[in-house]
């Protein structure tokens, strides 16, 4: 097995799998490579809530046994992956990076976990997130702050910061995250990796601990667009256990990875380059648009006028759904239970007071207020009407364009602690990603440059519902015509 073990963790998932198929490396060696990388850098990155070396090695050994028996490997089989810790894992603690779920061990797997386990994927561990996926920096975790591998003094983004940091640091070949308002794409932008939020209903949410059920979606985080397409193929499909899961055939998304955008019409919405978007970010994204035009796409300016209302709308709808979803954490059924209660009401109150962090408490209160008698029409109902207008805005744009080009985040990664005292400034980090969740659309973020401080900048491509193949095609074409994806964080 002559592969250089020290370098294995730097490979893309596709390259790792090709070496496995060729017999240049074993699944056990791939798994040991990332586990060794976790041992060497995790103290600085802090991506993992739980590392699972025994289970990962067992799965890798099973893959190697199949190879030894002469069986043909399935796509992606044997390539180790990290799971965001809001995905239920049978027999393994699932915390959502919250004290209230400390000690909660689910008796079942999330559907995506089940699918990947059946596909022969070793899971190296569960990774950190903002508590219950509520945040844009992974600073809201109840356990610790995750660091950006490109600059350890900066945030990795959020809420899937552990997922993106683990991939950027070489601690996993790929990872799963969840995206409610940008939680896959914004950290992918900050960490210089590829992150895709699928169309709502494309991937089963069964076993994803709910934040805002009409917005949540699980998606892939990878080093390359091809890896992203492959992982999306592995996790997509209808699931009877999720009533919002859509009955449509799952294509082989890797076939969309063709370097050809000739004739595709791409819109560049003016509103996504407004105040707050840094000059470096705007310049990098506009250069990417020019590159796609050079490669044969038709690129034109356009407008999405309702965009300016998306952030305010989101921060009514998402907390309202969170308030409802988080009511189940009562100290009775699972997770943390206070030891300082003498009545059932006191048990409920104290458990929630001790178990939830400040960001979660704030969102529960906002959501409860928005749903309360006398305010429901003024806030929640009005927000749902604006949500319809946001979707209509996109529908109008997609009557003219195949996809839209925007920045993913207004700035590169900011310093740890820089925005913690300014909640509004923190929430503005998601201003360019939130509208897509409101409309249930797919979008992908991929690297398109670096700032003067050497920090990654992300390009966001947005498409109509179930247009993941088009987005992957555009993303792959740009990726192959640029060199950004080949850079690695020098830890």
> Active-site residues: which are they?
84, 159, 183
Question: Residue with structure tokens 């709808």?
Answer: 317
CA distances (Å), 90 to each of 392, 401, 483, in order?
41, 43, 40
């Amino acid at each position: 097995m002559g592969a250089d073990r020290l370098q294995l963790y730097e490979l893309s998932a596709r390259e790792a799998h090709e070496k496995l198929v060729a017999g240049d490396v074993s699944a056990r060696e791939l798994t040991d490579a990332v586990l060794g990388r976790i041992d060497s850098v995790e103290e600085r990155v802090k991506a993992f809530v739980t590392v699972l070396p025994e289970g990962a090695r067992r799965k890798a050994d099973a893959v190697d046994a199949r190879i030894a028996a002469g069986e043909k490997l399935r796509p992606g089989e044997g390539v180790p992956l990290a799971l965001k810790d809001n995905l239920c894992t049978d027999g393994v603690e699932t915390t959502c990076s919250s004290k209230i779920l400390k000690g909660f061990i689910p008796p079942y797997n999330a559907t995506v976990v089940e699918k990947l386990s059946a596909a022969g994927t070793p899971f190296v561990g569960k990774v950190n997130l903002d508590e219950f996926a509520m945040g844009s920096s992974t600073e809201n975790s109840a356990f610790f702050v995750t660091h950006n591998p490109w600059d350890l003094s900066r945030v990795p983004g959020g809420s899937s910061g552990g997922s993106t940091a683990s991939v950027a640091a070489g601690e996993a070949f790929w990872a799963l995250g969840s995206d409610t308002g940008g939680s896959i794409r914004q950290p992918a932008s900050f960490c210089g990796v590829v992150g895709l939020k699928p169309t709502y209903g494309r991937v089963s949410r069964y076993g994803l601990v709910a934040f805002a059920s009409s917005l949540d979606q699980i998606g892939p985080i990878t080093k390359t667009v091809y890896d992203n397409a492959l992982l999306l193929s592995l996790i997509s499909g209808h699931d009877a256990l999720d009533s919002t899961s859509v009955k449509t055939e799952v294509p082989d998304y890797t076939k969309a990875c063709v370097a050809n955008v000739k004739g595709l019409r791409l819109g560049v919405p003016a509103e996504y380059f407004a105040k707050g978007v840094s000059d470096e970010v705007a310049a990098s994204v506009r250069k990417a648009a020019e590159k796609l035009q050079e490669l044969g796409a038709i690129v034109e300016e356009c407008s999405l006028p309702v965009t300016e209302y998306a952030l305010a709308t989101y921060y009514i709808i998402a907390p309202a759904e969170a308030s409802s979803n988080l009511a189940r954490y009562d100290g009775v059924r699972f997770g943390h239970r206070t030891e300082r209660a003498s009545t059932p009401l006191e048990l409920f109150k104290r458990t929630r007071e001790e178990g939830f962090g400040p960001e979660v408490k704030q969102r529960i209160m906002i959501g409860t207020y928005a749903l309360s008698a006398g305010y429901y029409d003024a806030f929640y109902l009005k927000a749902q009407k604006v949500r319809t207008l946001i979707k209509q805005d996109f529908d109008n744009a997609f009557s003219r364009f195949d996809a839209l080009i925007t920045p993913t985040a207004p700035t590169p990664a900011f310093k740890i602690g820089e925005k913690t005292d300014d909640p509004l400034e923190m929430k503005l980090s998601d201003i360019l990603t939130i509208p897509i969740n409101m409309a249930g659309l797919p979008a992908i973020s991929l690297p398109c440059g670096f700032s003067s401080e050497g920090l990654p900048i992300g390009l966001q491509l947005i498409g109509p519902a179930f247009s993941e193949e088009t987005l992957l095609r555009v993303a792959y074409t740009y990726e192959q015509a640029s060199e950004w994806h080949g850079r690695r964080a020098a830890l």
